[in-house]
Amino acid sequence: MPQASSAIQPAPADAIPAGKEPGYAAYAAIDWADQKHFWKLQVVGSPNSESGEIENTPEAVDQWAMSLSARFGERQVAVCLEQKRGPLVYMLAKYAHLVLYPVHPQTAAQYRETFHPSGAKSDPQDARSLLDLLLRHRETLQPLKPNSDETRLLQLLVENRRRMVDEATRQNNRLRASLKNYFPQVLLWFDEVNTPLVGDLLKRWPTLKALQGNHSGTLKRFFHEHNCRSEERITERIEAIRAAVPATNDWVVLEGESTAALGCVALLATLREQVTDLDRRIEQLVAQHKDGALFASLPGAGPVLIPRLIVAFGDQRDRYQSAAEVATLSGIAPVTEKSGRTEWTHFRQACPKFMRQTFHEFAAHSIAKSEWARLYYDTHRDKDRKHSHHGAVRALGFKWIRIIFRCWKEGRPYDEQIYLESLHKRNSPLSQAFQTVTGVGWQSVAGFQKLSEKKA
């Protein structure tokens, strides 16, 4: 009796109707790795498959891709792989005769486990599983359609900026940890330690003893040079420096921790400079982007969130057919599970985390800039107190995605007045609550309904 983990039997390459897709000459799958890629290929009309390995170098990948071009001429080859971005995708995307079908790693893993529940895994087996997925379920996969060059560059820059900011947060925490061990007074004298002021102070006087050995005039001049203008605050700091007692006199701790602190200071200075350079370049790209003005019209979207929202939606208007697709992909939409008579809803885990964070942060910022958003958030928070802060923000983000999606599809900037009028026309409960809370009502003026403040 055959075992459940027996090898997958690939479907004939011409057994699946092609639909509107091009007439592929062959189907291939690549299991990528750091050193070598294992590939498997099946020619249309042939029951047999071919396999081999490719070195992870541009030259080897080019040789493999060009061999397919020489073999099949102008006919295209569908290639399935577990990357949407990365070195292998970048190397293959430049060939017009290759149509890439990226597969989510979790999808590939679960499809493999369907036929290998024991957990057995190998590179040839993974390539075989990917090829079978491409042959049998191609209608569920989408070929890779990159955004415009401007949007793709913007995506790389905003993601790199987020990594820089996260790294700065880590270095800031490490600096604070070091200061707690040997120089905790700095944490009391300054609100933030990741500033040029604190960095320069520690580089010049890394310990309390070194700092206390200076004349008050020297310290005062130092603070003036770093744009400290409050004489009262400067005097308080100098007096606190004079009265401070060393946390430790152990020279081992002092040297070791001060060295670590200075390393963090240097890294923070470099990260600040890199983030500033990225902000400058991102600002230039947003100013030139065709959707820059559209996303700039959103309340709460500033210089950081505007490019992230542009990247989240992209510039291919046919990529999404509904706002629900965006909400689901981003992870803002919750997951509903049913089993028998039980049904429950929970937070979506499998999603692009940066994309979800973008919509979550925008929704949170919009609360302070849009009155209806504030009311919507408060309503969800006050509703039997069942929604946490983040739960209410996600609910608001879900609503914002529907609004932004409509603006994005039509290429029209957001207008708060138009949206409020839309709520009124639909007799939305939110419109009625908005009128009650804000005291802004609707009056008929020259036959039109317009917002106006109620007068006693």
275 and 221 in one domain? Answer: yes
Q: pLDDT at position 338, please?
A: 81
Query: Looking at the chain, how many residues does it have?
Result: 456
Q: Does residue 447 fall inside a structural domain?
A: no
What was the pLDDT predicted at 158?
96
CA distance 361 to 335: 20
Strand partners, 338: 343
Share of the chain above pLDDT 70, in %: 88
5 — phi, psi (to 5°)?
-95, 20
If one counts the domains in the chain, the total is: 3
Query: By percentage, how much of the chain surpasses pLDDT 90?
Result: 60
Q: Which of 19-33, 205-219, 429-443 is predicted with the least confidence, judged by mean pLDDT? A: 429-443
The pLDDT assigned to 12 comes to 53
Q: Which two tokens stand for residue 352?
A: 């692009």
Cα distance between residue 315 and residue 351, in whole Å: 20
Instruction: Identify the pLDDT of residue 190.
Output: 95
Q: Do residues 217 and 242 make contact, with C-beta atoms less than 8 angstroms apart?
A: no
Whether residue 303 is found in the same domain as residue 185 = no
* pLDDT, tens only, 23-48: 899 999 998 888 889 999 999 988 88
Predicted local confidence at residue 82, as pLDDT: 86
366 in a structural domain: yes
In this predicted structure, the answer to whether residue 447 has a pLDDT above a threshold of 50 is no
Please enumerate in sequence order all residues whose Cβ is within 8 A of that of 204, keeping only pairs 6 or more positions apart, or say none: 222
Range of the structural domain that residue 250 is part of: 153-285
Query: What's residue 343's pLDDT?
Result: 79
The pLDDT of residue 365: 96
**What are the angstrom distances between the C-alpha of 301 and each of 294, 316, 353, 363, 367?**
11, 21, 19, 9, 11
Interatomic CA distance for residues 160 and 141, integer angstroms? 28
Asked if the model's pLDDT at residue 334 lies above 70, the reply is yes
Which pLDDT tens digit goes with each residue over 52-111? Answer: 999 989 999 999 999 999 999 889 999 999 877 788 888 998 999 999 999 888 888 888
- Average pLDDT in the 162-190 region? 96
- Do 181 and 210 have their domain in common? yes
**What mean pLDDT is predicted for residues 361-369?**
95
Based on the fold, state whether residues 305 and 412 are members of the same structural domain: yes
Task: Specify which residues 98 forms β-bridges with.
Answer: 77
What's the predicted TM-score (pTM) here?
0.80
* 338 lies in the same domain as 394: yes
Q: How confident is the model at residue 22, as a pLDDT?
A: 62
- pLDDT at position 3: 39
- The reply to whether 425 and 298 lie within a common domain is yes
Q: Which tens digit of pLDDT belongs to each residue from 226-279?
A: 999 899 999 999 999 999 999 999 999 999 999 999 999 999 999 999 999 999
pLDDT above 90: residue 21: no
Q: Is residue 162 part of a domain?
A: yes
Q: Mind listing the pLDDT tens digit for each residue in 386-421?
A: 678 888 999 999 999 999 999 999 999 999 888 888
What's 112's domain CATH number? 3.30.420.40
Q: Which residues is 200 bridged to in the sheet?
A: none
**Domain end among 285, 319, 353:** 285
Q: Are residues 130 and 64 in the same domain?
A: yes
Domain presence at residue 49? yes
Q: Within this chain, do residues 136 and 221 fall inside the same structural domain, yes or no? A: no
Report if residue 226 sits inside a domain: yes
**H or E stretch covering 127:** helix 123-136
* Alpha helices per DSSP H over 21-80: 58-72
* Residue of 288, 299, 348 lying closest to 324 (CA atoms): 348
Q: Does residue 127 lie in a domain region? A: yes
CATH of the domain at 197: 1.10.287
How many Å apart are CA 275 and CA 283, to the nearest integer? 12
Please tell me the predicted confidence (pLDDT) of residue 20: 54
Domain check: are 299 and 281 in the same one? no
Q: Would you say residue 450 lies in a domain?
A: no
Which pLDDT does position 384 carry in this prediction? 53
Amino acid, res. 288? Q
Mean pLDDT of 317-346: 86
Asked if residues 285 and 157 have their Cβ atoms less than 8 Å apart, the reply is: yes
Whether 18 is in a domain gets the answer no
Hey, what are 176's tokens? 């604070």
Let me know: does 221 contact 238? Beta carbons within 8 Å.
Answer: no
Based on the domain organization, do 315 and 422 belong to the same domain? yes
* Contact call for residues 232 and 261 (beta carbons, < 8 A): no
Nearest to 42 by CA among 16, 74, 3: 16
Q: Are 131 and 66 in a shared domain?
A: yes
pLDDT at 110: 85
**Domain closes at, from 285, 316, 335:** 285
pLDDT tens track for 271-322: 999 999 999 999 999 999 999 999 999 999 999 999 999 999 999 898 889 9
pLDDT band at 114 (very low <50, low <70, confident <90, very high): confident
Mean confidence (pLDDT) of the chain: 86
Per-residue confidence (pLDDT) for residue 444, from 0 to 100: 46
Q: How far apart are CA 73 and CA 373, in angstroms?
A: 56
Residue where a domain terminates, one of 227, 260, 285: 285
Regarding whether 401 and 334 lie in a shared domain, the answer is yes
